[in-house]
Amino acid sequence: MRNPTTVEQRIDIRARRFLATAPAGGAKARLTEFIIFGLKQGWACIFGATLLAVLMAARLWYPDTAALARNDFLTVAAVVIQILMVAFKLETLRELRVIVLFHLVGTVMELFKTDMGSWSYDAEGVLRIGAVPLFSGFMYAAVGSYMVRVYRLFDLKFAAYPRRWVTAILAVVIYANFFTHHYIWDLRWVLLAAVAVVFGRCVMHFRVFRREFRMPLVVSFLLVALFIWLAENIATWSGAWLYPSQVDGWHPVGLEKLVAWFLLMIISVVLVAWVYKPQPPETGNASRPEVPSAASVP
């Protein structure tokens, strides 16, 4: 694990002691890697999962007669979650800068998209900018939190990562297209082709427990976009926001939104890459069998 927080360092030490006698091969070893992979993913999603749980709880149990509007409650809850993440050292201040940037980038998009009628929020509460409740920015921040946390939890490295200035230009054009497609041609299919060209050769290396695995980076973009799409279905069901076709009755979000989330992943990766510069994998280290001892954890 790269640059763990204090809490993660303690968890990592205890986990390695517990797993020190785990088998190095066979079905049990593969099962161990799979379980640890799931636990690390869950830990990386802690901000988003907590926020999603609050959204669902508010939908099911928040009283309509409460003095505090539901949207305002969600904003307060999101702020508290973020404060606790930093206070309990689940996120570093360095990572918080990226998360705040995600928040700002997302809020700007929210202001424009709601004004264009792409989606809408309940007109309630005072903690809002125009038609956008302030908790909406935290949903983008949750994506940022996941990205920076998964980067160090899995010790990500990248073979053939494109030049960062090229990815920055691509991210700017993708972000601009979210706005300009309302007025001129929608370039999303051109941008998808550009993503394939720019990132097509890049392979992500990630460590779970003993083994290091590989995955084409574009595939990882798609998988994360799929999980965000699933979370979006839960969020719209909870009434956090609604697309125009859902106003008269909720139904699952269309699969075409996967393209938007896929492109958003490019913006996310580029933002994180400016904090954690992508590093190439160590040569000849695709399946290192040894497990560092607890004493070796910095």
Token duo for residue 45: 């999603």
Query: Tell me, what's the pLDDT at 192?
Result: 96
Q: What is the pLDDT of residues 232-280, one digit of tens each?
A: 999 999 999 999 999 999 999 998 899 999 999 999 999 888 878 899 9
pLDDT at 25 over 50: yes
pTM of the model: 0.85
pLDDT at 68 over 50: yes
pLDDT at 174 over 70: yes
pLDDT at 296 over 50: no
Token duo for residue 85: 């993440």
Query: Tell me, what's the pLDDT at 1?
Result: 64
199-231 residues labelled b (16+ CB within 10 A) or e (exposed) = beebbbbbbbbbbbeeeebbebbeebbeebbeb
Which pLDDT band, with edges at 50, 70 and 90, does 287 fall under? very low
Kindly state the average pLDDT of the residues 146-173.
Answer: 93
Kindly state the average pLDDT of the residues 149-173.
Answer: 94
pLDDT at 285 over 70: no
CB 203 within 8 A of CB 194: no
Query: Tell me, what's the pLDDT at 164?
Result: 93
Query: Tell me, what's the pLDDT at 66?
Result: 93
- Cross-strand partners of 159: 203
Looking at every residue in the chain, the average pLDDT score rounds to 88
Query: Tell me, what's the pLDDT at 284?
Result: 55
Closest CA to 224 of 151, 119, 118: 151
Query: Tell me, what's the pLDDT at 95?
Result: 82
Please measure the distance between the N-terminal and C-terminal CA atoms of the chain and give it in whole angstroms.
10
pLDDT at 288 over 70: no
Q: What is the pLDDT of residues 86-114, one digit of tens each?
A: 998 888 888 888 889 999 999 999 999 99
- Cross-strand partners of 212: 207
Query: Tell me, what's the pLDDT at 289?
Result: 39
Query: Tell me, what's the pLDDT at 290?
Result: 39
pLDDT at 229 over 70: yes
Question: pLDDT exceeding 70 applies to what percent of the chain?
Answer: 93
Query: Tell me, what's the pLDDT at 98?
Result: 85
